[in-house]
Structure 1
Amino acid sequence: MNPLDRFAALSPRRALKRAEELAGQKQWDRAARLFSVAAEAGIVEAQFRVGEAYLEGNGLGHNPREAARWFMRAAESGHIESQCRIAGLFLHGLQSHQVGQTATLFGDTIGESQNRDADYPAALVWARRAAEAGAADGQALLGYILANGPEDLRDPEQAESWYRKSADQGWPQGHLGIGMILMRRADDGEKTVAAMREIEKAAEADLPTAHYLLGVIHEQAVGVLPDPARALNHYRKAAIHGVRNAQAKLGAMLLTGQGCAPDPIEGESWLRRAALAGDPEAAALVGDLYARGGELPPNYAEAAIWFRVAAEAGHRTAARAGGMLYLTGAGVARDPDEAARWLARAAEQGDSAAQADLGNLMLKGEARQSSLDGLPIHEWFERAAESGDLIGAFNYGVCLAEGIGMKRDEGRAVTWLRRAAEGVVNAQYWYGRMLLDGKGVSANPTEAYRWIRRAADSGMVEAMVTVAELMVNGRGCAQDHAAASDMFRRAADAGHAGAMFALGALYGGGHDIPTERVQAQIWFARAAELNHPVAQLMLGRYLRKGLAGPADPVLAAQWLKRALAQGIDEARLDLAELASQEDPLPSRAASD
């Protein structure tokens, strides 16, 4: 220890005086040791200064619990500033039973509850003592507790009285409290202006919360004309001081150019800060920013990270967006099961779009049932259907038709699918199929054709294929192979393997269109490449027999083997006939 410090330490009073000198020079370590000497001797001012040192981390390390212990010792001796400090710590989550307990190696307290809620009753005791002693900050604290504490502690009239006493002493938090009380009950322009004046006085003292509230007032035109530029200025001042909501507001305004020129780079930066501080809306906006791209390049991997942050904080739109990324494989590995889990989060919170997406995922059979177990999917759809939502009616109809989450009831399914068919393409197709197959209703091929044709004309590929099949067979409509060929071609051009196979069959002969075996082989080949098993069989036969050009036994054998591997047993006979022929001519290799 420095010789002067060692000499001062011999007397608690000299230790306090020397510590104050050292603190003025910001020599915190030396000052803290001498403050501790004076504090242990019972000097109240020194106890307060030791508490401050622990709270600020000046020379003793940051330790709010130790700070509270020293503040409490000073407060019990009547030290007003310490009473204010201990009341503030109770409001910030310190519990009265924690004060004075021994800290563990990990900084927790033995037997400590992890409850971080404010201890209002304990805070009230010390705030009242400080307030009644005339401390402006204690009066503001007491006003806050009486205005915002638990119902059994609230006293709005007394809260306003204490806030006014604090404001009369020029204390910024007093002005802020009065302004918030006046703003809540302002029912005309004059009262709103009076409230604003109080909040502006708090903002003049650079109180961050006051700046945030003024930002809201000017952005949302609360008793004033809208002024985005002033709102932006106040949000920036609050954001710089770490007000999370202000950071989110500032980021959003910079992003869209409210009150300024658009600045997506700075906007993203502030939104990111708010998101890291736990603001789910900000995290969702950052995710959306990276997903959409624009001035910033799209980055789906980054978007997925932020959507997850927002979704885990309960943001349902972000949960749905994250689910769609997993469904499409944008920025993450495609995973329908993970997509289902995220969509379920959004759906459980009432997001109707997520419910519909989840329903479609379920209908396609992409997600394993284990991902959906326990979810009341049919109940969501039933509520949506009964509210008049046509997509909900469609999904509920499918649940009834397939027995998903409930007993199968095809009769009720038809009713809901018919209702949804007025505006939902998929419902037109499903309702048409029910009519065609006579499920839940008497079979009516003509009416079935009409509804399925509506879905096909809207671009639904599966409906196109069904309509074409009906035209080939003359079921529900006049037989028309040429029109069927056109419809199959539309579906084939959209990548439907079954339609490609059907075109091969039509051009292969025996139908009311000219036989064109070269075209037939081309379509069989396209379908075979998409792993259509019967197309692989037919392509193998065309190549074996040379029906559309020179025979190619080797290539024929490869396609026939692929068909056999998929369960087409007829290919076995073709392969046996190939084996009995002479050695095949040299050929090109099959493309897989």
Structure 2
Amino acid sequence: MAILDRLTARVHPALALRRAVQLSVSGKPAESFALMAIAARGGVVQAQYQVGRCYLEGMGVPPSHSEGARWLRRAADRGSPEAQALLAALCVAGLAPQEIEAGSEALFERNSSGEVDFAAAFDFAQKAAEAGSATGQALLGYILSKGPKAMRDLDAAHGWYEKSAAAGCPEGCLGLALSLIRLRQPEQGTRIATELRRAADAGLPTAIYLLAVLAEHGIGVPADLDAAQRLYRDAAERGLAFAQFRLGLALIEGSLVDRDPVAGEAWLRRAALAGNVDAAYRLGELYASRPRRDFAEAATWYRRAADGGHQPASHALASLYLSGNGVARDAEEGTRLLRSAAASGDRQAQVDLANLVLEGAGEPDDAVGVAGWFGATASSGDLVAAFNLGLCFAEGIGVGQDHERAARWMGRAAEGVAEAQYMYARMLQEGRGMAADQRQARVWFERAAKAGIVDAQVALAEMLYNGRGGERSVVAAAHLFKRAAAAGHAGAMFAIGVLYETGQGLSINHKAAQEWFAAAAERGHGHAQLMLGRYLSKGIAGDHDSAAARIWLERAAAHGLQEASDELAEI
């Protein structure tokens, strides 16, 4: 700095400011700042504002939020609308010190609090706005529309946005467009597009993105997919994560102009790494659904999205932990993630967690919300949820046991859920929650049996064999027992053995009877073990084996069958 500049600055601070501006334009920020600081200390308000900006932006001096805020406060206290507006912006962004008070030097030891201070922001923005600062007016509009509920006044916010936009402030144009969108007035479409265009022309990424949305859907402007893709790309390249996500999806799906899955995935990655949880979730879905699935990579992206509060991602990640796909199997972590997603309202997570509870998994507290989750879904017409809600009332899971309500929900679910048809038939057969009705029970057992429910096939076969609820038909019963036996039902295998032994519905065949008793016995059926032991002990089918007979009779006796104990004593 020339000695003359230094001497002049001390005598005439205003001249120092003018010279500082000249040096800044000449590309000499350090020399400019030195003169600017002299002018600021000399009480020139504009210089104080500029010194504050220099500290914030690191122009000619090492950056310091605290020093920047201190000089801005001096200028603001002396009526600088620019300083007031910038201080308001710092408070909204959480970049201002915890308190901004003149003369409190100790408060500027830390660069920023990191917390939004809407109260201070409102005071500074209001002063700037009332002084005619277009930027201050836009900020005041933002605070009144996005601040704490107690501070919000949407009509007042709209008015300040109008003033700011009229003065040509890009942020005011964007705020006005958003306020008009909130009003949901179709006739405002053209004006919304106009205000967004003004903000977009100034380079505001959010405005560019919203203009792309209008172009894509033809709102306020003619539909133009080429323009939409170009605008999405512009906003994405400026770092707007929402635009990166939308562009990535469009390239993967080919929903705009070009289809380029590789480039689309790259944009999704950029968006996800910038904090867009929807993009992270979609990446997880991509890796989990490819022909060559990569569950480990999917888990990485699901985790990133879940950590950001994305509940479908928590649900998807829970499924991986519960199944052990892509991660080490961890039922506790899977249940925790399901619980988190369910508590946040994810319907499918609620259903899955409730099913775990019905299976006896989870924690005792998990049962509390189960009936409520199923109830909300069941009331909307979901028959599977109605079935599960019926089970909750039948077993007293999360609610008091109520057989009447269980029967009512089970009956509703039976219209389309095979398992519910079987359970409803059982309730009708036993008279649980309603009057017993054997004929109707048989009807519902038949529907469930036709749908492939093995237990229903056995129950219907027993009713046909005994003639309960309709005509007796041991032949039809035998046919159903064989269908169930083919599916591995031990009780049906035992029943076939009995039919072969007695010649009811099947021709007497002791060898076939023994084979079916053996098949059921090996599956742990106590009465089949008794019959097999008896057959081997007495050689009924031609095979006499006392040692094997003793083994099977002992197993039958372990089931508490007295006949088995008596026959053991006779061997």
Judge same fold: TM > 0.5, yes or no: yes
Q: Is 1:233 matched with 2:256?
A: no
**1:222 is matched with which residue?**
219
**2:174 is matched with which residue?**
176
Displacement after TM superposition at 1:259 (Å): 0.7
Q: Identity over aligned residues, as a percent?
A: 40
Q: Is 1:438 matched with 2:431?
A: yes
Of 366, 370, 389, 1:396 maps to 389
Distance 2:227 2:261 in 1: 19
The 1:507/1:334 distance shift into structure 2, 3 A limit, reads farther
**1:427 is matched with which residue?**
420
| DSSP 3-state at the match of 1:441 | coil
| DSSP 3-state at the match of 1:236 | helix
**1:205 is matched with which residue?**
202
**1:163 is matched with which residue?**
164
Gaps of 5+ in 2: none
Contact kept, 8 Å, 1:19 with 1:32, in 2: the verdict is: yes
Q: How does 1:170-569 map to 2 (within 5 A)?
A: 171-184=169-182, 187=185, 191-293=188-290, 297-311=292-306, 313-333=308-328, 339-363=334-358, 365-370=359-364, 372-375=366-369, 377-385=370-378, 389-471=382-464, 475-476=468-469, 483-484=476-477, 486-488=479-481, 490-491=483-484, 494=487, 496=488, 498=490, 501-502=493-494, 505=497, 509-510=501-502, 512=504, 513=506, 515=509, 517=511, 528=522
Contact kept, 8 Å, 1:139 with 1:166, in 2: the verdict is: no
The 1:407/1:127 distance shift into structure 2, 3 A limit, reads closer
Distance 1:404 1:373 in 2: 6
Count of residues paired in the alignment: 555
Distance 1:264 1:35 in 2: 55
**1:583 is matched with which residue?**
none
Deviates more, 1:540-549 or 1:471-480: 540-549
**1:88 is matched with which residue?**
89
Q: Normalised by the size of structure 1, how large is the TM-score?
A: 0.73
Displacement after TM superposition at 1:316 (Å): 4.4
Contact kept, 8 Å, 1:145 with 1:154, in 2: the verdict is: no
Displacement after TM superposition at 1:325 (Å): 3.9
Distance 1:536 1:21 in 2: 104
Deviates more, 1:191-200 or 1:176-185: 176-185
Contact kept, 8 Å, 2:425 with 2:442, in 1: the verdict is: yes
Q: Which amino acid aligns with 2:392?
A: C
Displacement after TM superposition at 1:565 (Å): 13
Displacement after TM superposition at 1:253 (Å): 2.0
Contact kept, 8 Å, 1:35 with 1:46, in 2: the verdict is: no
Contact kept, 8 Å, 2:418 with 2:453, in 1: the verdict is: yes
The 1:434/1:134 distance shift into structure 2, 3 A limit, reads closer
Distance 1:249 1:225 in 2: 20
Q: Which amino acid aligns with 2:120?
A: A
The Cα offsets for residues 528-574 of structure 1, whole Å up to 9 and x where unpaired, read as: 4x7778888989999999999999999x79x9799699978999989
The 1:136/1:348 distance shift into structure 2, 3 A limit, reads closer
Gaps of 5+ in 1: 581-592
Contact kept, 8 Å, 2:170 with 2:198, in 1: the verdict is: yes
| DSSP 3-state at the match of 2:223 | coil
Displacement after TM superposition at 1:430 (Å): 0.9
Contact kept, 8 Å, 2:216 with 2:225, in 1: the verdict is: yes
Contact kept, 8 Å, 2:497 with 2:513, in 1: the verdict is: no
The Cα offsets for residues 150-191 of structure 1, whole Å up to 9 and x where unpaired, read as: 335962464145314431xxx4324334444455558455x4
Cα RMSD for the two superposed structures: 5.2
The Cα offsets for residues 192-225 of structure 1, whole Å up to 9 and x where unpaired, read as: 2233123212212221111011022123332334
| DSSP 3-state at the match of 1:372 | helix
Distance 1:241 1:151 in 2: 30
| DSSP 3-state at the match of 1:155 | helix
Distance 1:551 1:261 in 2: 80
Q: Which amino acid aligns with 2:124?
A: W
The Cα offsets for residues 397-418 of structure 1, whole Å up to 9 and x where unpaired, read as: 3222222233323233223322
Displacement after TM superposition at 1:144 (Å): 3.9
Contact kept, 8 Å, 1:200 with 1:214, in 2: the verdict is: yes
Displacement after TM superposition at 1:454 (Å): 0.6
Q: Which amino acid aligns with 1:372?
A: D
The Cα offsets for residues 68-107 of structure 1, whole Å up to 9 and x where unpaired, read as: 23432344455554333212101213567433675899x6
Q: Normalised by the size of structure 2, how large is the TM-score?
A: 0.75
Deviates more, 1:260-269 or 1:545-554: 545-554
Displacement after TM superposition at 1:439 (Å): 2.1
Distance 1:284 1:134 in 2: 45
**2:135 is matched with which residue?**
137
Displacement after TM superposition at 1:427 (Å): 1.8
Distance 1:63 1:508 in 2: 95
Distance 2:130 2:246 in 1: 38
Q: How does 1:43-54 map to 2 (within 5 A)?
A: 51-52=52-53
Displacement after TM superposition at 1:285 (Å): 2.6
The 1:534/1:278 distance shift into structure 2, 3 A limit, reads farther
Contact kept, 8 Å, 1:507 with 1:520, in 2: the verdict is: no
Distance 2:271 2:260 in 1: 17
Distance 1:565 1:33 in 2: 100
| DSSP 3-state at the match of 1:404 | coil
Distance 2:324 2:563 in 1: 37
The 1:423/1:486 distance shift into structure 2, 3 A limit, reads same
Q: Is 1:72 matched with 2:73?
A: yes
Distance 1:538 1:483 in 2: 24
The 1:507/1:341 distance shift into structure 2, 3 A limit, reads farther
Contact kept, 8 Å, 2:65 with 2:111, in 1: the verdict is: no
Displacement after TM superposition at 1:302 (Å): 3.6
Displacement after TM superposition at 1:508 (Å): 7.4
